[in-house]
Amino acid sequence: MILLAAGMGIQLHLSGTGRYAIMLMLTVPRLQTPSVVAEHIISVVEEFSNKKPPQPLLISFNPEEVRSQAAASTKRFEEGNPLSILDGIFVAIKDDIDCFPHPSKGGTTWMHEVRTVKKDAVSVSRLRSCGVIFVGKANMHELGMGTTGNNSNYGLLTSVYVTSNSFPRYRVCNAIHLEPGWFKTARNPHAPERYTGGSSSGPAAIVASGLCSAALGTDGGGSIRIPSSLCGVVGLKTTYGRTDIGGSLCDAGTVEIIGPIASTVEDVMLVYSAILGTSRADRISLNPSPPSVPNLSFNDSLNSLGSLRLGKYTAWFNDVYSTDISDKCEDTLNLLSKLMMVEIVVPELHEMRTAHLVSIGSECLSSLNPYCEDGNGARLSYDTRTSMALFRSFSASDYVAAQCLRRRIMYYHMEIFKKVDVIVTPTTGMTAPIIPLSALKDGETDMRVTGYLMRFVIAGNLLGLPAISIPVGYDKQGFPIGLQLIGRPWGEASILRLALAIEELCAKSKKRPASFFDVVFKASIRYCKCFGARMIVGPLQISRLNAPGRGDVRQHVTSSFGCGAVVRGRASTVYRASR
């Protein structure tokens, strides 16, 4: 059985037992429809404003638009004509990617006044053609110019009182008066006093909190991988040119891509399969090699990865704020002992960071400067204005020099890839940092924090290499740690295959965030008996599908895509059983 994953024609093959499981689930009576799930999501979003602290995860949200999309999806399922395996799945879109009819503000309060959204971005259009339901535009660091995800433009605007009982994670005694802006910015679902990471703060937090199982973000300097690592989810930065950047605020640069954030590697692969490929409208088409995704076979094991060679630069690997990070990543690599580990040296790391800063700064300025005229620049937060001022100091000769460095550093990496297949590093040099009180009103510029968060992500953007962040555990304080895999150009299949194995090895350590919304099922564990099968549904995932009499048909289901699911090794859209 073959199911079409996306308009690009990526096919996912299902085995006989996979067909049985799918047909079994599709015939379950009293189904949980997309419309029912939509109502749960709408109620959760409305609940955000009443939480302490509130979670401004969505910048643009229209309940009626969500209901309309969900109703159309429900009708398709009732008629037996879903558009694809992604039909009925709820996805959030970062606020710098066009998703009609929502405005694209880029995290500002005014961008929609000078830039009108007339149609979907290419990637969004492809997801829409698969039947995806868009919940709205997700929060982000203003104009993407920050790695913490802090955005003081959105959130509670009035002064509030907080007690130690209502806000236990903070050390507050009795009642303390907090200034306006205290509850602004998206917050980490694992701890509300911590940053999500950025700039794709909202997408990562939405996925981690269970509101959606996938989101689209952009990554020009780690903006998908950093928040994915800090929030404990999976984030894929594709090869430059693999996905179409058209319809984003910075669609003319050479470092930024659009990519997926999701709760599992399989979920990332499905969304990636749907959005990959360039279009005629793409300003910079590289005519990439044909895309491929790993074979989603449940029988695949670590043995199938035996030929992969992993490269590790130990001195760089250990250059972290806390040894908890390097130790946990090292422990994960030890689980891959069957793979060859090669000690490498990555030359000119400082030069690489400088070349990237000049490249992304110059390109962002070129794309965004026209919108910042007529006094709009003064409406930006102080930290964004600081970044813009720095970028304006770069000259044309600086940009040319950066491209010369870029070519040289690419040569170094291509030499490394003659010896190894994948470079492994921690995703970030620190776990989620604390949000300073002073940063909530006007933002902040903390280069020390920025340096640690961006320490390992630059090569993927400057050189256009594919990279993925996978959660591998937690530090001693309980905050997520991500491991990064960097591949050769167009080598997404290799890093995804390895990521699948790592996810399997680390599955037992994964835990639910403190702030988690179960939009599909309210109970922790539910049982659904249908046609001799038992489905055990946990708060994070459908953990097991057991069909007696079919031999060993225990198929793990690791993601809750709204009203759909991904069977490990066998991708399919299935209805969720009702309560």
Asked whether 406 and 355 are in contact (CB, 8 A), the reply is: yes
- Say if 517 falls within a structural domain: no
Does residue 167 surpass a pLDDT of 90?
no
Q: What is the mean pLDDT of residues 1-21?
A: 37
Give the pLDDT score at 300.
58
Interior/surface letters 267-289, b for 16+ CB within 10 angstroms, e for the rest: bbbbbbbbbbbbeeebeeeeebe
Task: Provide the domain limits for residue 475.
Answer: 2-509
CA–CA distance, 567 with 14 (Å, rounded to integer): 10
Q: What is the mean pLDDT of residues 263-280?
A: 92
Among candidate residues 242, 309, 270, the one with its CA nearest the CA of residue 490: 242
- Say if 189 falls within a structural domain: yes
Does residue 261 surpass a pLDDT of 70?
yes
Per-residue tokens: 569: 């090794």
What separation in angstroms does the CA of 320 have from each of 220, 435, 454, 475?
22, 19, 11, 12
For a pLDDT cut of 90, what percent of the chain falls above it?
68
- Say if 573 falls within a structural domain: no
Write out 229-287 in H/E/C secondary structure: HHHCCEEEECCCCCECCCCECCCCCCCCEEEEEECCHHHHHHHHHHHEECCCCCCCCCC
Interstrand relation of 309-312 and 340-343 (parallel, antiparallel or unpaired): parallel
Does residue 65 surpass a pLDDT of 50?
yes
- Say if 82 falls within a structural domain: yes
- Say if 38 falls within a structural domain: yes
Among candidate residues 575, 547, 546, the one with its CA nearest the CA of residue 561: 575
Band of the pLDDT at 31, cuts 50, 70, 90?
Answer: low
Going along 164-213, which residue ranges are E strands? 175-178
CA–CA distance, 204 with 210 (Å, rounded to integer): 10
Please count the structural domains in the chain: 1
- Say if 408 falls within a structural domain: yes
CA–CA distance, 79 with 57 (Å, rounded to integer): 34
**What does the pLDDT look like over 182-210, one tens digit per residue?**
457 999 999 999 999 999 999 999 999 99
- Say if 137 falls within a structural domain: yes
CA–CA distance, 559 with 561 (Å, rounded to integer): 6
Among candidate residues 494, 469, 18, the one with its CA nearest the CA of residue 262: 469
- Say if 32 falls within a structural domain: yes
Per-residue tokens: 185: 């910015």
Does residue 554 surpass a pLDDT of 80?
no
Band of the pLDDT at 442, cuts 50, 70, 90?
Answer: confident
Provide the annotated active-site residues.
Answer: 94, 199, 223
Residue with the bigger pLDDT between 479 and 441: it is: 479
Q: What is the mean pLDDT of residues 291-305?
A: 64
**What does the pLDDT look like over 373-430, one tens digit per residue?**
899 999 999 999 999 999 999 999 999 999 999 999 999 999 999 999 999 999 999 9
Band of the pLDDT at 496, cuts 50, 70, 90?
Answer: very high
Q: What is the mean pLDDT of residues 505-521?
A: 87
- CATH code for the domain in which residue 370 is found: 3.90.1300.10
